Amino acid sequence: MDMTKQLEKLSVFNKLHSHFFILPNAWDAASAKTFEKCGFKAIGTTSAGIAISHGFADRNMPFNMMLDTVRRIVQTVDIPVTVDMEDGYGQTPDEVEDSVRQVIKAGAAGINIEDSHMDRQAPLHDIPVQQKKIAVIRELGNAMGYPLFINARIDSYWIKSMSPAVRLEETIKRAHAYQEAGADCIFVPGIQEISEIRTLRKEISCPINVLAGQGIPSANELEELGIQRLSTGSGPFRAAISLLHRMAQEMLEKGTFEHMTSKVLSYDDLSKTDMKQE
């Protein structure tokens, strides 16, 4: 990818965090292009959506297959793309650095990196371990002359082994540590209470990302609270698969096709999505 164009996208993506915006998460070229055509200014990827759409469980998809999907998405849209890197696709900082380098070369403007294995019974990664990963990624971007946007995800609100009484305190402690290591934004999926979001905003100086879902305050409320970024995670993918499930049930049980034919794009409209070719 042309580095000048990539740097321009990175600049646009950075500026989006100066105010509130919604970041939808795509799982393939078609979903990415659809979000762009609807007017979104940037998109993220969803690791769960990409993995499951390729027949893998989340976190079990080979890195190279994920990377191929990222390349296709970046080639298809003209807006910045930030990539869900799970916990780094590597066991060591050097392995994480290599994975991130490949994602940068694929055209990413930013990444998410999380501090858990997504085992809700297991503890979060140790703070120094996560700081090292973030610092290595920051150093890599600096060395490449490409200040990749790092969104550090904190999974305190998703770990069942962590007491609800200490989740906010732990989140704030980790946010400070990750920001010190070089993170540009702090992502806290699962946080919903306005009082806790307000405290988080008061305690953290960098942009904050929260996750859309049931129970989350409205976009307007989040903007008033000073949140910069609202992402959708696997929500759109799960909604699409749920519609497919309802459509299949209707066809098998009723022999009708309302879910498949009502308020859907025509073949001609779908052909106008203008997917780019390599």
- Sequence-distant (6+) residues with CB within 8 A of 104 are 140, 141, 144, 146, 148
Contact 141, 148 (CB under 8 A): yes
User: H/E element holding 261?
Assistant: helix 258-261
Rounded-to-integer distance, Cα 144 and Cα 215, Å: 41
Q: What's the CA gap between 264 and 123, in Å, rounded?
A: 44
- In which residue are the tokens 């971007």 written? 141
User: CA end-to-end span of the chain, whole Å?
Assistant: 11
pLDDT tens per residue across span 198-233: 999 999 999 999 999 999 999 999 999 999 999 999
Give the length of the chain.
278
pLDDT at 37 over 60: yes
Whether residue 83 contacts residue 10, with contact meaning beta carbons closer than 8 Å, is answered with: no
pTM score of the predicted model: 0.94
CA 159 to chain centre: 19
Residue 31 has pLDDT above 80, yes or no: yes
Q: Indicate the SS3 state at residue 148.
A: coil
Tokens coding 215: 């129970």
pLDDT digits (tens, 9 = 90+) for 146-165: 999 999 999 999 887 788 88
Query: Which DSSP letter does residue 87 get?
Result: T
| 89-121 pLDDT per residue, tens | 998 999 999 999 999 999 999 999 999 976 666
Confidence (pLDDT) at 113: 97
CA distance 52 to 177: 33
pLDDT at residue 278, rounded to an integer: 42
Q: What is the dihedral of CA 220, 222, 225, 229, to 10 degrees?
A: -120
Asked if 103 contacts 70 with a C-beta cutoff of 8 angstroms, the reply is: yes
* Per-residue confidence (pLDDT) for residue 2, from 0 to 100: 81
pLDDT higher than 50, residue 277: no
**pLDDT value for 160:** 79
- The answer for residues whose C-beta is within 8 angstroms of residue 212's C-beta and 6 or more apart is 22, 230, 231, 232, 233, 235
- Average pLDDT of every residue of the chain: 94
Residue 31 in tokens = 């979903």
Q: What is the pLDDT of residue 118?
A: 67
Domains belonging to the chain, first-starting first, are 3-234 (3.20.20.60)
Q: What is the pLDDT of residues 46-77, one digit of tens each?
A: 999 999 999 998 888 999 999 999 999 999 99
The full DSSP string for 210-256 is EE-STTPPPHHHHHHHT--EEE-TTHHHHHHHHHHHHHHHHHHHH--
